[in-house]
Every structure is written in C-alpha cells, then in structure tokens.
Structure 1
Amino acid sequence: MIVQNAPADVLSDVLRLMQAQTLCSARLVARGAWSIRFQPPDTIKFNVMTAGTCWIRPDGPDGPDGREAPRRLDAGDCFVVVRGGFVLASAPDLPPVPAAQVFQAPGGEANVNAGNGVPGAAGDEVRFLGGSVRFDRLDGGLLFDLLPRLLMIPGDVPGAAPIGWLLDQLDREWRAGGVGSQLVCNDLLRLMFVHALRTHLSEHPPQGANWLAASLDSSIGRALGAIHAEPCRNWTLAELAGIAGRSRSSFAAAFRERVGIPPIDYMLRWRMRLAATRLRRGQEPVSTIAASLGYLSDSAFSATFRRIMGVSPVRYRTGADKAPASDRAAAIKD
C-alpha cells in the first residue's frame, strides 16, 4: 500500500491557525433605486451577488472615500471587505441609508424597494447572499494585514469557475432551508471564500517581502511548504536550498528578498507563532509544546520564545488576553 501525504499548503496552515470560520448570515433583495451604508465590520465581510447589477464604493472615516471610485458589481461577482465601511447602491451617487435601518427583519433577510427613503428611478432586482469570516484576533493579521481593504472577484475570470457552481448550490440551499441548511450554507460559503482568495491572489499577486507573496513563488514556496509541513524539524540552510532547487547562497538571498527575513529566522518565528497560539488556547505544559516543536530542553525553547515574542511562555500565557500589538506582529508578518 502506498500512502501519499497531501502537499504542504502555507495558506491553509495560516487559515487553520487563525481558526477562520464562515457564517452565512444575510440575504439582501433590492429593487428600484436604493443605497445602503455599511459600517466598518469587526469581522471580514464576504458577499456574493446572485442577480442584477449594482455599485460598491469604499467609505472613509467621514463619508465616501474620494480616493477610490465606485466599482460595478454584476451577477456572479463576489467581494470581500477586509476593513473599512462601504456603500452598496443601485447607482453611484444616491444618498445612502444606514444598513441597521434595512436589516431589521429576523433571519438576516432584507428587502429594499424604491420609495423607502432612497430617491431615484426604478431599476432591476438585485440579490445578494453574504456572511462573515471570523478569526482569532491575534492571528488574523497574519493574512488580512497583507490584503487590500476591498477584494473584488469578477465572476467571469478563469479562476472563478468553481465559485459560480458553489454560488448556485448556496442560493438553492438558502432558499430551500432544509434540515441542516445553516451548516451547509456555512460550509459552502467557506469554500467560496477560499476560492475567492485563490482567484484574487492569481489575478493580483501580492507585492512586497512577506510569506504570502513568497508562497506563490515556485522555488521559495517549496521551502516554505517544507517548513510548514515539519515545523518540529531542525531544518538546515542546505536542506531548504535543496528543496528549492538552488545553491545555498542563491537560496538565502532569494528567500530574504521574497520573505523579508532569513530562512532559519522564518522557521523559528513560525514555531513561536504556533507555540503562542497553543499557549493562549489550551493548558498544555510548556514542556509538551517545546518537545512537539523540536526542542530538547524547556530552557532552549523558553529562550527562543522570549527573544521572538518579548516575554517568557508562562507570562505570555497569563497575559495573552492583553497581548500588545508588538506581540501580534512578532512572528512571521514582517
């Protein structure tokens, strides 16, 4: 019997660490002329358009952000709001009403018709399904700090084909409302969110020196995958260079250029990120965590943890709920 392990996937690793969970929670049906302002969310907002055409514009602190023009949404498109408020409207210049005024009915349903406080001419029906992506507050920045505030994924780009099929299933499931429907809708939205991320990264590769950009590099990405597949292994520069198919000097220079830090530093920081998450979420002894991450002594682990995270493992665990921003950024973001 041949057993083949799935290849290491850095993005999946980070999403698991963040405990990213999707909740399909809202449906919007709008007719005529309408405009709705959504306040900055405390989660990631993910929405898919099932019918019609409308416009979205990012909102600034004191109203529409003039630096970004309104953008058109068509049936099959989806968008991800990473941070900041936004306005959805049947036309770009209509005055908006607050979303709280619209989403008052139980069950996350909202129906908007021309004449309910939003002036303008009648238009075609627009339908949305939406939800949120919740994540660990200390680990979420690993991914979302590297993304733009608004991700637009057109339904007609090559990588979006699976989203269209999933959208049909989600729309049908939401309408049917059968046994277990909420769980099915949540899982379908989760799959759509991951496909949306994939498509965005394919169409708009991330820039700068960071793990996300590096993970898409065919050479450096293999080395990152190896580190994530076996974080407890004491990788050497020569081993990682061999996996990347480069000489040691070429690999070290390329890794630092793409990721922003040397390979061994990345390995140590990822280990400490894993350790910090386990310290916050559970009651495992420090010695157990240390051994599982390749350390032969608690003191060696504690010294590395203190150097990277700024405090000892014990102090980190007791103060995790009040961890400063510097702790959140310490591991692999920079």
Structure 2
Amino acid sequence: MDKLSDEHFDRRFDKQLGKQLGKTLDPLSQAFSLLDVRAARCTRFEAGGHWSYRFPAKPALKFGAVIRGDCWIDFGDEAHHRLATGDCFLLAHAPAYVLANDERLAPEDGIAAFDWAQSDVARGAGSDTVLLAGSFGFEASDAELLLDALPRFLLIPSRSPSAAVIHSTLHILDLEIRGTAIGTAVLTDRLADVLLVQVLRAARDQGAGEGLGWINALVDARIGKAIRLMHEDAAHPWTLEALADAIAMSRSAFSKRFKSLVRLAPIDYLLRWRMRLARDQLRRGATVSATAAQLGYSSESAFGHAFKRIYGHAPKRYWRGQATGEKIPYRPK
C-alpha cells in the first residue's frame, strides 16, 4: 500500500471532517462516511395460504417492508405486531422472530424452507403476501454508535408522512431484486443504504424520541451543535467546559443531557470519533505519524495509547494489517 502524500492526506482529512467542496456535511452523513456499513443482502419473500416461518437471531441491522398483504411479526415474549401493506420496519441486533399470517400454526424453519443459496426470491405457495428484506453488517467497534442506539423493533407505518418516499425506493429495490440486468448487486446495495437513511429520518419525524439515542441527539438543538463542533474540528483540544460554553449550557447539564442521549460522556465520544477518523486514514495508507499530527496529538505515543484504548491494538499493527490484508480483531480495552 502506498503512503499518502501530506497534501492528499490533508484533502482526505478535510472531506472526513465535512469540508467537502465548500459544503459542511451533517453529522449523520459524516458518520456514514466513516462507519463500515455493509448492505449484506436484499431478498424478496412470497407466501400464500396459511403460513408461519421462524427466523434466527442475527447480530446485524435488518429492514423489512410489506409490499402486499399483511402478517404478524412475533418475538416470542408477548411482543407481536401486525404488519400491513406499506409498513416498513427495522430490527436492531435482530432477535429471533416469527413471521406468520396465522399465529395458530407451528412455525416452520424460514431458512430451511427456501433455497436461499440459489435465489434472492423465496417463493411459498402463492404470493398473497410479499415482503422485501435486507440486512446491514457493521464492524464490532461501530455497532455502539448506530446499532446500539436503536430499539429492537422500529416500525414505520404506511400512514407515516414519510411513507411515500420510502415506497418509491422500495419499488425500485423490488424491481432490481427480481431483475437480471447488469449491475443489480451494486444498485441493491446503494438502494438499501438510501432506504436505511430514509427509515431513520421517518423514525425521527414520527417522534421516536429518546429511543433513537445518538440519532435523536444529532437533531437536538444544543447536543447536536456540540456533536457538529466535534465532527468539524476533531483535532481541536476540546474540553467539557469549552463544549458546554459553546452551546450555552452548564457543564453538569451538558454532560447529563449528552450522556442520556448518546450513552457516552462527551469527551469519550470525541475520543471515539477521533479514532474512527484515524482508522479511516490508516486504512487509506496514511502513516501513523501523519494521522497523529492531523488529529492534534503531540506524539505518536499519545495517539497510540488512545487508539489502543478503543481498538485493542496499536495503530502501527493496524496500519501494517491494512497493507498486508491481515484482518485485525477488535479487542477494546
């Protein structure tokens, strides 16, 4: 892997801080540019008659949408929800669940019942009910920022004001899943990314409130401003007092409000944001010394200590791993 020149590194770093073509990116866009969010697969599920299928837990973020018909989703702990045509939902740390249109039936194994290895379309006895689904994978170190901020089950009903926009994306996604044109895999991945942001927007607009954690914090008048300040100038020697003063809050009130939304103390969040920036630059070939300097660290040693605290190993090992293709495990201290 070639080392980045200082000039190229500066341009890359500025883009990650949101200074792209003179436009400041919003914090969610900045975060998505750094988080290793991977759309794993998009599928179409068709069923007719009376049916019930069980699906296993999956350590990921999943979305689902009812294109036709209606059914139940049941988590087995007295938590079950009716899903109607046009409803869309997210599952965080996707738990085991049952999809059924007849809850009296004993559920079949939803993985074994269909030939998922050969097709992205699962066809049962008819197509009275049709669902689209997809999943997103994360690096373990990124899950806490987005995945852990979401409730287990998040429903966007068809009556939601944002539903029409989501339905437009779902329509195109459905055509791609069923189609055979070139570039289908690329388009389904991109559409899944678009759909995820649209659902998160819709959840915020419909008042999911505190249940959205960090995402809700982004649009909080004061906490959101503090996050923007940290994102836009991560190398600045921010202190709790300086951040609180910048948003006109007392230190105690700021710290309490920030932690209640983000689930991290402000300075801990700043450290993790800096290390995500660092990880991205090391992936792209920047040297450890250049990365440390751009993030405001006075020495490689101080930077290395911070990096190891978050990722469990030294930045030089991570840098070498990127050059050689070695997969470095996430072992936080």
Q: Under TM normalisation by the shorter chain, which class is it? A: 0.7 to 0.9
| Aligned match for 1:205, one of 197, 206, 209 | 209
TM superposition shift of 1:207: 4.6
Give the structure 1 partner of residue 256 of structure 2: 257
Give the structure 2 partner of residue 330 of structure 1: none
Maintained 8 Å contact 1:46/1:79: yes
TM superposition shift of 1:125: 0.2
Give the structure 1 partner of residue 15 of structure 2: none
Q: How does 1:1-334 map to 2 (within 5 A)?
A: 4-9=22-27, 11-58=28-75, 65-68=76-79, 70-82=80-92, 83-104=94-115, 106-113=118-125, 125-202=128-205, 203-207=207-211, 211-235=214-238, 240-241=243-244, 243-244=246-247, 246=248, 250-260=249-259, 263-276=266-279, 281=283, 284-305=286-307, 312-314=314-316, 321-324=328-331, 326-327=332-333
Maintained 8 Å contact 1:155/1:163: no
Which sections of structure 1, spanning at least 5 residues, go unmatched?
Answer: 59-64, 115-123, 328-334
Residue 207 to residue 181, structure 1, CA distance change in 2 (3 Å): closer
Task: Measure, in 2, the Cα distance between the counterparts of 1:71 and 1:200.
Answer: 17
Task: Measure, in 2, the Cα distance between the counterparts of 1:269 and 1:218.
Answer: 22
Maintained 8 Å contact 2:241/2:251: no
Task: Measure, in 1, the Cα distance between the counterparts of 2:129 and 2:229.
Answer: 46
TM superposition shift of 1:36: 0.7
Deviations 1:148-176 (CA, angstroms, capped at 9, x unpaired): 22222212112333101112222233344
Maintained 8 Å contact 2:149/2:214: no
Name which of structure 1's ranges 134-143 and 88-97 shifts more when overlaid on structure 2. 134-143
3-state SS of paired residue (2:210): coil
| TM-score, scaled relative to structure 2 | 0.78
Q: Which amino acid aligns with 2:159?
A: D
Task: Measure, in 2, the Cα distance between the counterparts of 1:30 and 1:310.
Answer: 46
Task: Measure, in 2, the Cα distance between the counterparts of 1:264 and 1:42.
Answer: 28
TM superposition shift of 1:293: 0.8
Deviations 1:4-54 (CA, angstroms, capped at 9, x unpaired): 413431x33333332112244311111110111111124322222111111
TM superposition shift of 1:291: 1.2
TM superposition shift of 1:295: 2.0
Task: Measure, in 1, the Cα distance between the counterparts of 2:122 and 2:242.
Answer: 56
Residue 4 to residue 242, structure 1, CA distance change in 2 (3 Å): farther
Which sections of structure 2, spanning at least 5 residues, go unmatched?
Answer: 1-20
Maintained 8 Å contact 2:146/2:214: no
TM superposition shift of 1:103: 2.0
3-state SS of paired residue (1:88): strand
Identity across matched positions, percent: 35
